Amino acid sequence: MIPTRFQWADVLTSIFLHGGWMHLIGNMWFLWIYGDNVEDILGHFKYVLLYLLCGVAATMAHILFNSDSRVPTIGASGAIAGVMGAYMVKFPRSRILTLVFVVVFVTTMEIPAFLILVYWFVIQFFSGVGSVGHSHLSQGGVAWFAHIGGFLAGIVFVLLMTKRDRFSRRPALRW
């Protein structure tokens, strides 16, 4: 079911909301890690456009797989997943400093962003497939397909958008 004219305001405002403090902290952390670099190469206007388009695509993906749900969707994670997909395309060789737990020891390692994001996507995919048979009519949950749809939309939309001029002249950003 595609949203009507009056429901588009709900779609756009829902991508700026969070389902609690932990979701807010997690979403803002991912946006801080990945978002600033994507904004640098796209510019402010195209970055906001990417965020909005990915949020709408994430909502559409959620509606496609959960058309009978009566639970409202609240969350920016689909749009943020789009930023993560854009980051994976534009910065595949960058490395992310990551906490690693080895039995009782904690250390840090630099892991390629591409591996982290592919791992994250696989978790979202299998969680989404696992939730298909589960009924969301009476209870809420995580909008796994919004994450998947936003991530894939970020990959597509960032490929369609051009880089800012000052970055297109820098050979260090060409992969």
Residue 175 has pLDDT above 80, yes or no: no
For residue 87 the two structure tokens come to 């980051």
Q: Which of 124, 118, 150, 156 is nearest to 15 (CA)?
A: 150
pLDDT digits (tens, 9 = 90+) for 62-72: 888 877 766 66
What are the Cα distances from residue 87, in Å, to 35, 42, 51, 82, 147? 8, 11, 12, 9, 15
Can you tell me the distance from the alpha carbon of 20 to that of 90, in angstroms, rounded to the nearest whole number? 31
Residues in the chain: 175
User: Which phi and psi angles does 53 have, rounded to 5°?
Assistant: -65, -40
Better-predicted residue by pLDDT, 66 or 88: 88
Q: Which of 82, 74, 45 is nearest to 158 (CA)?
A: 82
State the pLDDT at residue 165. Answer: 62
Q: Which of 27, 26, 6, 7 is nearest to 16 (CA)?
A: 27
Q: Does the structural domain 5-173 have CATH classification 1.10.287?
A: no
Is 96 within 8 Å of 111 (Cβ atoms)? yes
How do the domains of the chain map onto residue ranges? 5-173
